[in-house]
Structure 1
Amino acid sequence: MSGTSVLTKQKINKKDSDINHKEIDIEVLTKSASRVIAPLWSISTFAARNPWMGLEKHSFDRVAAWLKNSRNVDIYPSASMIISAKSNGEIDETYIKMGLQRWIDSHSFKIPRETLEQYCHSALKLDSLPSYLLSSQKLKVLAEEFSGLNTDSIDHSMQPISSRIDIEGGKRLVDLLDYHMIMWCKLYLDDSQAGWKMPNREEGFYRAWQRLIQYDPALSKKQRKHLIGFPKEAKLALKKAIFALEIPESQIQGYLEGHLLSLPGWAGMMLWRSRQSSQEQELLTEYLAVRVSMEYALIKPYLPLHNQQSESEVSVVPLIASWLHWGGLSIEDWSKLSVAEQNEYLTFAYQFNDMVRRKICLEAWEQTYSEQLCQKIGAKQREADDKKSKLAQFVFCIDVRSEPFRRQLEKEGPFETIGIAGFFGVPIATSELGSNHSHPSLPVISKPQHIIKESVNDYELKSYQQRKSAVNSLTYTFKMMKQNVLSSLLLPELSGPWLSLQMVARSFVPKKANRFIRNLRETWLRKPNTALTLNHDKNIEAELPVGFSAEEKVKYVREALKLMGLTENFASLVVICGHGSQSTNNPYASALECGACGGASGGFNARVLATLCNLPEVRAELSSEGIEIPEKTVFVAAEHKTTVDELDWIYVPELSETAQEAFNYIQAILPKVSQRANSKRLALLPNFKSVFKDPNAEAHRFAEDWSEIRPEWGLARNAAFIIGQRELTKDCDLEGRVFLHNYDWKQDESGELLANIIAGPGTVSQWINLQYYASTVAPHYYGSGNKAMQTVTSGIGVMQGNASDLLTGLPWQSVMESDHEAFHSPLRLLIVIQAPSKYVERLLNNDSSLREKVQNNWVRFASVEPDGHWINWN
């Protein structure tokens, strides 16, 4: 038994209303319905996510049509974005014409081809129909004479029933339901802000709600009475509410989907929490039980409701107006057409609608970028030059922000740069010194296998913990005083002078103020130099093994080196570069960190891998396998600060003579590299105007100014993921839009390396791409609005005001250059693989998930043959 999917058309059997609700499998229905939302984790560990990850079995176009019809959410770029892209030379009109010809060829109309093409070419300019035509009395008379067009019936099962009931103030009953749900979700999910926690929270969301709802003053006595006698178990309560609302069996899944889509942020957080702990695995069911029970209580006076489906009549006026404006017809020409001809013309205008036109333009935009990228990397593949010795090798994250920095670095010396996912293949959770908690430092699609802790001797640890405890105690005391009724009256008198001075300093001299505060904190804490618990310690009790076994150390180093393609020709100095960001007063700080490290900095992982690579026992074992790391080669770790384009050294062991020479040279040229990279990067920020200012100083100001809403662009404008040797893209200005992962097909006969790259970094890159895409094309639904108006709530996310959905995507400042101009180009990710076509065919045959994404146009796919020939696979 399964409910009707909102993406599957099915006629509703009226007998379904007489369901035996005891036979409904709520778990199956809830799981099936959950595909329309995506899990949402805490903003403190924000990592980009694909909002449509559960819908990729359907084509992008089908999901777009469903979202438009069911939620009025448009996921194609707007006309203004497309027009702007055309004016900037980002869309080749040739590809628009080709797309149009394919669309016309796939349909059959009894209209002359020349007439169709004239209409379409004019309509594809995406200008609006003139208001004088739409308000023309003559057109209204013509429309009245026409019987009208009927579209498919609207299935209300994809919406909560309360969405069909209007209440006072011009609102719908579903708005009141959403308001109640937001209040209860905030209360249950609060992680740090509330002074008083929700009573009985440990019993679960539904049970805690059920115990309190009878005292809720926001509901009337009569409404509370409707909830008396509901079961104590969430599943049974949900069944009871569905039965009471008389939802036909075949509509139940669509009905639940509608409820999840009403507040996809709060529902997404419930979904994520349900997957993190066995104690909350029923949380999404509990959420639906609370919501549907609440809907029943609110809607009871309005029952029964009828007309589950209705025919939707299309307005004929704009269709006729489109033929007058784009088709070149006059009113007299239209009047001369027969009724059958008019019907054919109107049907065509209805089918060649705004979404179809923008779909053709989006595909032309994507094809144009693909062609431009193909031309950039050259028609002929570059050969690797192994003869020249490299002074140093740098291993960077594939992040698009690394590409411009790598290019500037390569210009300054005989360096080789390598791309790999920024967790560097070590599946760890990190635990910093003095912390009782760990943070997964790997892609969110994976689970950590080990915990790596920082350690020092007992005396230093105790001393550091005491200092840290003092700082935490001050923070805790301040928070408790704010939340206590009496002490909060005294708090302004005590803290006012200090906070006022801090506010003035941070506002007028942000760079100096932040440096002073940071130095004061660091001086007080005095974090000692630490070691890493790399050896497996059975005596430490933890959820995961602490450290690695001898075999695991070799395994992770071997796999990382193979993924990098670095198994020979080692330089004397190999720099493993994690990356992180730097900003002040920024709830979305983790969105600028390393996506491959779960929204954290990648420096810790870089240090772990570099340390493992230097271990003599690891090198000895690798040598027996044919991977010979020279004795003079030393691995060090650094962190690329993307907001200021600098390298911070975080692990530099004793260097060999040649490694020291390389290190000294790098230190000498880094300021110039940073200045060039910052100069180009800052020029793209709309609030950086002066070309005479010092780029490095300005970058630090952006990072340290607490009023700066855009410290950097992050991964905006990402468009492609290239898997191949660096020689393919070296010296190419990829404009910071491309993820770069090293890959040598000659060393991957089995195809296992390529499969792993696609499954891991490829998936993360696609998630990042679609997160930026969604936040750009539908910011009201998938974005998070203006940073300046956001409210951090419950310690888990942001809202607009105090009663909105938990916002799921990127803020306006991350994707928009101005109120009317997008900075991010909403293109679906182009994956390019440098390998023979047989490798690509094998990959698509073996990876059903990738094949599905390519066939359904969630990603675009291409490959570069050994002779340089470019092949498109979509």
Structure 2
Amino acid sequence: MITPEYLTSELSDQAAGHSSDASFQSAARTELLRAVDEACSRIPPLWPLRRFVAVNPFVGLGDFHFDKACALIRKVGRGELLMPAGFYLEQVEAGHVTPADIERAMHLRNSGERPESASELIDFLRRSAHASPSPVAAIETLADAIDRERGSEWAAFVVEEISKWCAAYFDQGQSSWTMPWRHLSLYAAWKRAAELDYNPEAAGIPGFRAAVATLPDEPWELIALAVDELDFSAGARTDFLHRELATIGGWSAYARFRVWESDMRGERDDALIHLLAIRLAWDVALNRVFRPKLTGRTFQPAQCAAEGSDLRIRVLMQLAYELADQRRLMRVLTSGSENHAAASPVPAPRKAAQAVFCIDVRSEVYRRALETVSRQVDTIGFAGFFGFPIEYVPLAHEHGEAHCPVLLSPGYRVRETLKDASVHELLKVYDRRWLHKRTSVIWKAFKQSAVSCFSYVEVSGLLYGLKLLTDSLGLTRPVLHPATAGVSPRHQERIGPTVTRQRGRLVRGGAVRETGIALSERVNLAQAALKGMGLTCDFARLVLLCGHASQTVNNPYGSALDCGACGGHSGEANARIAATILNDRDVRAALAAQGLRIPRDTWFVAGLHDTTTDEVRLFDLESVPHGHEADVAQLQSWLNLASRLARGERADLLGLGDLSSFDLSQAVEARCRDWSQVRPEWGLAGNRAFIAAPRERTRKLVLNGQAFLHEYSPEKDPGGAILELIMTAPLVVASWINLQYYASTVDNRLFGSGNKTLHNVVATLGVFEGNGGDLRTGLPWQSLHDGSRLVHEPLRLSAIIEAEEDAIERVIAKHESLRQLINNQWLHLFRIVPGGADVFRRRGPGNWVKETNWRFEA
């Protein structure tokens, strides 16, 4: 990631002060490069609010075993990867975790340490739960050391100042006035402003501006200077630099996102390096002012330890807690194994419909409801972008957003259009939308300008008072889909994607680049999608491709409730594009030539599942061929009934379980329009399992919306290509989601975003909790806790795959990041014998242990 040519001379000058040996100079330069690169790579990316997606907060710690990462987070982040001892004690006393679970956990760890009994561990928990927490020795920045010595709050002040600066520099249009140095690099702009900023001196750092003026002009020179001046051992550099970035973890994560995005484009962004330089510059300035006045122990930022018996016991109890949950999950999962194994070889009658849903855990509830309504419907689980990685360009826009998992780059650009429109009509729609956008910008500028703010309040205050009243009473206007903004009602139903190749055309503000997908590429995408779904034969007359989205207002985290597989967007565009391509006669003819025949009477229909209201909307029904009208009407009827069942199942968690079906429908509709609603839906709270298996394995199971369900039949994948795709994409994404929820639960201060009612959007990128501090990451507490109990339990993902051992091991051996995820126990991996009931747990490379009655065989 790092190739700074200009670092050479600075390090050479420093090395000359220690030794004239050229080999020392080279070693010093290499060591610093390595330390900075490793520290930066440990930072997870943070996607901006407009396309917020779940991110594994430990994505940069993959080469650490989970146990070691617990100690590292305590040392570097002053946070936790585990629940407190009292939590585990509650689980034991409630009977959720049994002594047998604890004994199994000790057997699984097999660490070679002194064996302990379950009763000894429980006694330790009781003592720890009622004892005052002992201080944790952690790495300190210089600001931390000064605060410990003098009782000051310089660490918080530094974070506040850097955060304020980053909000101004990275602002994406929220601020009315832009800073004058945005044309400079991040570090250069900060240095220019800091040389003029009197605030630190007013706060008590004399000579701050003069000190900044003497600092190097290049970030790498500053980093080298700081490493030398702060004087910590070379072996501790990585952890110390990690600690520096962790103090401004939110902005570090956003800078890491910029690096991630530029890497995906084959470009380079040094924002994270510059931010590290800014953070170190503050410590250098504080060092020059306060270091001579420190009377306590010498500042040694890396000579700290965070491991101990408390941590070791809690790691063991976390495993026992997860084993207890797996015991219950596996009993449910294998309860239908006999029926699955004894399935009749006689072909089943053709289904009336097949419905493909995203693997999102919320789909599990709806799929089960739909199959309950009618036995003539089969459901299939597949990634919600349906295998079409696109950049979707809205009508009258020049650029679009990626509608695919963030692990992928969009391979195709698809433009939104107005179907069957003349050039004159299309231009009228363009003009109307362009005018809508410009009016919105002008109105915002007027409201926020210094000269009009008081007159605006004088004139509009009463009108806004009326709006607040109606909003508070739930009488809000309908939530508009973004695609309909600035478009007349008679045109709204005709807006949709077009996959045919289109050359760039002039639009107000610029030219749209070439869009669409060539026929050969459409054929390849269609073939890959159908094989990934396991849908290569026995097609129904109707195949529903159902994406999903949420519907909320006044919710900065709204995109977190949308489809993660679509990059934090609605799955509508992907579903409609997939259906269009799979209905294409030319595509079908090419597929048939390759041996994949879709019956002539099979029609693909696009739909969208609103996860807030559980309604499903069907699209492009005017294109349904003659003879399928009754089929579509029947499907819509089944969907309406399934929506009622799904809403009823989710009602208790929303506190609406005592309402009638009609009142419940009205209530959830009101929730999604309520500007004060902090919990319009529960999102993916409760996720704990990923299952890749035939639907027959899970069809009759009640998994309570807690499992990602991906269709996979080993017999249809002799080469293992589909299994490889599942394990390296959907499984990894599910793990990212799971670990974000996990981290936000165990330490919301460090990994979450606190209280949603205190959120303030900053720079349109993220939120502050209150009026300042660091940019918050992760999930708000209201997405995890209902006020009396945790709705999301902190459990690492249990991944269960129905496949042969050799096939799974080949995939793991081929992909290092997946291997780290599994071998270092960031998730638990199981396999089920295809068509059978035997379950094996993976304990290490090639080491699979059969479990019988959920006790280990010798």
The TM-score, its normalising length taken from structure 2, stands at 0.87
Q: Letter of the 1:209 partner, please give it.
A: W
Q: Letter of the 1:708 partner, please give it.
A: Q
1:389 is matched with which residue? 350
Secondary structure of 1:574's aligned partner: strand
2:405 corresponds to which of 415, 418, 443 = 443
Q: Distance in 2 between matches of 1:43 and 1:517?
A: 15
1:851 is matched with which residue? 819
1:24 corresponds to which of 25, 29, 39 = 29
Q: Is the 8 A contact 2:240 2:301 kept in 1?
A: no
Q: Distance in 2 between matches of 1:228 and 1:567?
A: 68
Secondary structure of 1:219's aligned partner: helix
1:407 corresponds to which of 368, 373, 387 = 368
2:120 is matched with which residue? 119
Q: Distance in 1 between matches of 2:73 and 2:401?
A: 35
Matched, 1:822 2:810: no
CA shift for structure 1 position 296 = 1.1
1:61 is matched with which residue? 67
CA shift for structure 1 position 176 = 2.0
CA shift for structure 1 position 195 = 1.5
Which deviates more, 441-450 or 191-200? Answer: 191-200
Q: Is the 8 A contact 2:504 2:514 kept in 1?
A: no
Q: Letter of the 2:269 partner, please give it.
A: Q
Q: Pick closer, same or farther for the CA change 1:685–1:126 going to 2, 3 Å.
A: farther
Which deviates more, 634-643 or 470-479? Answer: 470-479
Which deviates more, 78-87 or 581-590? Answer: 78-87
Equivalences for 1:71-470 in 2 at 5 Å? 71-83=77-89, 85=91, 90-100=96-106, 106-108=112-114, 118-124=119-125, 128-129=129-130, 158-166=139-147, 170-220=151-201, 222-277=207-262, 281-303=269-291, 306=298, 308=300, 350=309, 354-356=313-315, 358-378=317-337, 381-382=340-341, 383=343, 386-413=347-374, 414-456=376-418, 457-470=422-435
Q: Distance in 1 between matches of 2:483 and 2:472?
A: 16
Q: Deviations 1:158-211 (Å, cap 9, x if unpaired)?
A: 432221112899434322221221111111111121111121212211111122
Matched, 1:833 2:801: yes
Q: Deviations 1:230-286 (Å, cap 9, x if unpaired)?
A: 332222222223333334433332221111111111101011113334786111111
2:56 is matched with which residue? 50
Q: Distance in 2 between matches of 1:172 and 1:534?
A: 57
Q: Pick closer, same or farther for the CA change 1:367–1:30 going to 2, 3 Å.
A: same
Q: Distance in 1 between matches of 2:671 and 2:286?
A: 49
Matched, 1:486 2:451: yes
Unaligned runs of 5+ in 1: 3-14, 135-148, 315-346
Q: Deviations 1:414-455 (Å, cap 9, x if unpaired)?
A: 001111100011110111112222010000111111110012
2:467 corresponds to which of 489, 497, 502 = 502
2:6 is matched with which residue? none
CA shift for structure 1 position 390 = 0.3
Aligned length: 802
Q: Distance in 1 between matches of 2:703 and 2:616?
A: 21
Q: Is the 8 A contact 2:392 2:573 kept in 1?
A: yes
1:324 is matched with which residue? none
Q: Distance in 1 between matches of 2:192 and 2:679?
A: 45
Secondary structure of 1:419's aligned partner: strand
Q: Distance in 2 between matches of 1:313 and 1:56?
A: 21
Q: Pick closer, same or farther for the CA change 1:657–1:687 going to 2, 3 Å.
A: closer
Q: Distance in 2 between matches of 1:206 and 1:352?
A: 39
CA shift for structure 1 position 65 = 1.7
Q: Distance in 1 between matches of 2:479 and 2:697?
A: 42
2:601 is matched with which residue? 632
CA shift for structure 1 position 29 = 3.3
Equivalences for 1:634-653 in 2 at 5 Å? 634-653=603-622
Secondary structure of 1:739's aligned partner: strand
Q: Distance in 2 between matches of 1:587 and 1:127?
A: 39
Q: Deviations 1:279-309 (Å, cap 9, x if unpaired)?
A: 8611111111111112211221223572527
Q: Distance in 2 between matches of 1:841 and 1:492?
A: 66
CA shift for structure 1 position 695 = 2.1
Q: Distance in 1 between matches of 2:490 and 2:216?
A: 53
Secondary structure of 1:454's aligned partner: strand
Q: Is the 8 A contact 2:498 2:577 kept in 1?
A: no
Matched, 1:40 2:46: yes
Q: Deviations 1:495-528 (Å, cap 9, x if unpaired)?
A: 2233222111111133567699999976579436
Which deviates more, 768-777 or 481-490? Answer: 481-490
Q: Letter of the 1:256 partner, please give it.
A: L
Secondary structure of 1:666's aligned partner: helix
Q: Distance in 2 between matches of 1:546 and 1:51?
A: 35
Unaligned runs of 5+ in 2: 3-14, 844-858
Q: Pick closer, same or farther for the CA change 1:50–1:543 going to 2, 3 Å.
A: farther
Q: Is the 8 A contact 1:830 1:861 kept in 2?
A: yes
Q: Letter of the 1:202 partner, please give it.
A: H
CA shift for structure 1 position 381 = 3.0
Q: Letter of the 2:147 partner, please give it.
A: D
Q: Deviations 1:591-621 (Å, cap 9, x if unpaired)?
A: 0000100100001000000000011110001
Q: Distance in 2 between matches of 1:556 and 1:276?
A: 24
1:771 is matched with which residue? 740
1:337 is matched with which residue? none
CA shift for structure 1 position 760 = 1.1
Q: Pick closer, same or farther for the CA change 1:477–1:688 going to 2, 3 Å.
A: farther
Q: Distance in 2 between matches of 1:27 and 1:425?
A: 39
Q: Distance in 1 between matches of 2:480 and 2:94?
A: 41
- Taking only the aligned residue pairs, the percentage that are identical comes to 30
Q: Distance in 2 between matches of 1:118 and 1:362?
A: 15
Q: Pick closer, same or farther for the CA change 1:676–1:86 going to 2, 3 Å.
A: farther
Q: Is the 8 A contact 1:633 1:656 kept in 2?
A: no
Q: Is the 8 A contact 1:74 1:777 kept in 2?
A: yes
Secondary structure of 1:510's aligned partner: coil
Q: Letter of the 2:619 partner, please give it.
A: I
Q: Pick closer, same or farther for the CA change 1:171–1:44 going to 2, 3 Å.
A: farther
Q: Distance in 2 between matches of 1:16 and 1:165?
A: 31
1:322 is matched with which residue? none
